[in-house]
Every structure is written in structure tokens, then in C-alpha cells.
Amino acid sequence: MEKENLTKTQIIMLILLSSFVVSFATGIIITTLAEQKVPQSTNTINRIIEKTIGIGATNFVNTEDKEKDAVRQLFITQEELIVNIVEKTNPSVVSIVATKDVPIVEQFFINPFDGDSFQGLIPDFQIPQYRQKGVEKKQVSSGTGFFVSDDGLILTNKHVVEDAQAEYTVIMNNGKKLPASIKSRDKFNDIAVLKVNGENYSFISLGESDKLKIGQTAIAIGNALGEFQNTVSVGVISGLNRDITASGAKSGPEELKALIQTDAAINPGNSGGPLLNLNGKAIGINTAIASGAQNIGFALPINIAKKSLEDIKKFGKIINPYLGVRYIIINEALKTANNLPVSDGALVKKGTQGEKAVMTGSPAEYAGIKENDIIIEFDGKKIDKTNTLSHLISEKKAGDSVLLKILRNGEIIAIKATLEPLPENL
């Protein structure tokens, strides 16, 4: 009996011992996995920090709470990154000041009742009169620009330097003033290129605007209000491919297409300054603001400017490609009103003053495009209110051959055309 009881006791002890061992082993496994999870996560954050700033993060990680401290350091790193970008690019951003001879107007007063016939009739009656008394040179406008080459090429907006009678001066970040000449103004895009003498200028590299994503960080630098030089603002890219009508240019309202929208503060005087990414590269040219709104600014995509700079280096001026048609972008209303077979495309049509739909001697005429043709595709890209014909043409160069898909009398035909430089008289 005692032997049997002992055996049962041993069995019970064995079961308890087994349970304890299993529980202990499980506890070790759970504890080990939990402890391993923190270093794995921390290593991931370390790699992000190393990739972002180029240094190891181990010196900054608090051993008590590695994950939390690494996340904190990640935000500090982004702040330091922006500071470093601004410090590096600020010498390349300049203020552009326009000055010109402005008449000096002198005011004087006359009494029309003076003289023999009215002597003393109304002795204190005075009428103001004005006359010019010479001229003086005055600042008439200001904006921003930035160096894009070490030999003194500066990129800015056309509306910053559109006054042909003005003289332009570039004010460097260190206060140095340099006279600037206008190399070229783009007739269709709000872009201009200036040149200053000298070399070894610090310049900003150009990024890639076709691959931008909404939510990316954006840094704007410019001569805010024409008074606060090299003002920095930071935000995100809020939208892409925005079309606006911008007022404020001396030549009148401008239709601007495919703009970058940002909430980085852009103010009058910022025009022509760079919009930067976190690589310190220019992705846009700050151009316009939405009046009556908060934190809605617009920048021209830098890829448009790249073509202008290539033209400057090759031809000495900006060359706009030219097809030579007048057209209306089709929408539902136009489709219904004219009983058109499609709701997108460019309807080749006469101008409002009777101007020819297809210009004489143009690439379009040579290619055989006719009035009432509907151009539905331009070199493989569909034409609609977002991709207008003029925008698609602006992405090409003079001399490029393009394939057009045209709807004519219910039949789709393909036509090849070779773009030419825009004539000077257009």
C-alpha cells in the first residue's frame, strides 16, 4: 500500500514538475521574443535615420526606452535636415530688384482769376496744376530668383522681369549687388532666365517634378513682400496638376497649367524663388498665391524650366515649339451644343475675330490638319481639360516629330507633324 502511495506521489510530482518546466520554458520563449522585438524595431528606425542624415543613430538612443527615443530622434533629424538644406541653398537664392527712370512730378497752384480782367475778384482761389521736373531712378518692383549654374544663370518668373524698360539688379544673400541682364523670357510659361557676370556661384540642383507625391515636404525660399529677403517656409505638396488664372502681371492675366499646389507660405515677392524637396533640389518655381485663402500657393514644375535652360545653353534664348492651330477644348457642354461625337479632345476652330483655324505656313498646315478636325491624342497622350494641347506641345522641343490622332468625319486618322520654333510675330 505504501509502495502504491509512493508511486502515486511520484506521479503527481512528475506531473507538477513537467508543468513547471513547460511553463518556465514558455516564459523564456515569450520573454526572449518580446525582448528581440525592440532591437528589430530600433534597428529599422536606425536605418531610416542613417539613410536620412547619413550617420548612425546608436549614440542618440536611450537604453531605457530605445523605440521612443529613436522616434524622437527621427523628428529631430528631419528638423536638422531642413536647417542643413536652408543653410546650403540660401547663398543660391537672390532678390531681384527692378529700377527705372520715373518722372518727377511737381505740383503748383494757379488762380484763374488773376490778371487784369479779374484782378481781386476771388483772391484766394487756387487750382492745383502738375508738371514734370526731370526724372529719378526708383525701384518699381522686386521678386526672387535662384542660381542654376555656377556661371551665373538665374531662374525666375517672367512676371518678375517683364518690364523691358527697367534695369535689374540681383542682391545676393550676403548683401552684394550685381547687375543682371535678361537672357530670355518664355512667351507661354511664366519663366525667365537672367545672367550675371562671374563664375563659381553656388547653385541649386534641379530635381524631378514629374514624380512628386501629395504629402511630400516642400520648402519655399524667397524675398517675402519684397522686404524680408530669403524668408523660409515649410509645408507639404497639397495638390498636383492645378490650373489657375493668375492676375498681377503687367501684361494681364495668365493661364497657368499643371501647377504644384503647396501650403508652404508663399507671399508677394516670393515669385521666382525655389520650391525645394528634402534632397535640397528645386522641384518648382514659386509663382502665385490664391487671394482670399490661407496657405494655398502654386509653383511651376521644374521640368518645364529644364527645357528653357537647355534652350538657353543651345540657342541663347528660349525656343517655344509651335504647331499652328487654334482650338477649343471639348467638354460636355460643347459636345451637346455642337453635336460632337466625343466629350474630350481639341476642336480645331477659327478664332473669335475670324482668325484662321490652321495658320498659314504652319506645321499643322503642312501636316494636313483641317478646320473642324478633333485632335484626340498628341504623341500618345489623350487630350482633355487636364492635358490641353498647348500643355502637351510645351513639353516638346522645336524639331520634334509628333503623331496626332484625329477624328475627322467619324473616322480616326493618324497624322505626323514636325514642330517648329514659334515665329517672333506670334
Q: For residues 56 and 46, is the Cβ–Cβ distance under 8 A?
A: yes
Spatial CA neighbour of 254 closest among 279, 237, 271, 278 = 271
- CA angle, corner 282, sides to 228 and 419, nearest 5? 120
| C-alpha dihedral sign at 39, 41, 46, 47 | positive
Q: Which candidate in 92, 95, 233, 271 is catalytic?
A: 271
Alpha helices in 191-269 (DSSP H): none
Spatial CA neighbour of 108 closest among 135, 126, 128, 132 = 128
Q: For residues 361 and 322, is the Cβ–Cβ distance under 8 A?
A: no
CB count in 10 Å sphere of residue 330: 23
Distance (Å, whole) CA 366 – CA 327: 17
Distance (Å, whole) CA 84 – CA 66: 26
Residue 176, judged by CB atoms within 10 A of its CB (0-12, 13-18, 19+), counts as exposed
Q: Is 177 helix (H, G, I), strand (E, B) or coil?
A: strand
Q: Which candidate in 95, 159, 238, 373 is catalytic?
A: 159
> How far lies 380's CA from each of 87, 127, 338, 376, 421, in Å?
43, 69, 26, 10, 22
CB count in 10 Å sphere of residue 301: 23
Q: Which candidate in 186, 190, 263, 344 is catalytic?
A: 190
Q: Which residues contact 169 (CB under 8 A, 6 or more apart)?
A: 96, 97, 99, 177, 178, 179, 180
Residue 286, judged by CB atoms within 10 A of its CB (0-12, 13-18, 19+), counts as buried
Distance (Å, whole) CA 76 – CA 70: 10
- CA angle, corner 239, sides to 237 and 242, nearest 5? 130
271 assigned to active site: yes
Distance (Å, whole) CA 194 – CA 186: 12
Backbone angles phi, psi at 121, to 5 degrees: -65, -55
Angle between helices 2-53 and 66-89 (to 10 degrees): 10
Catalytic residue list:
159, 190, 271
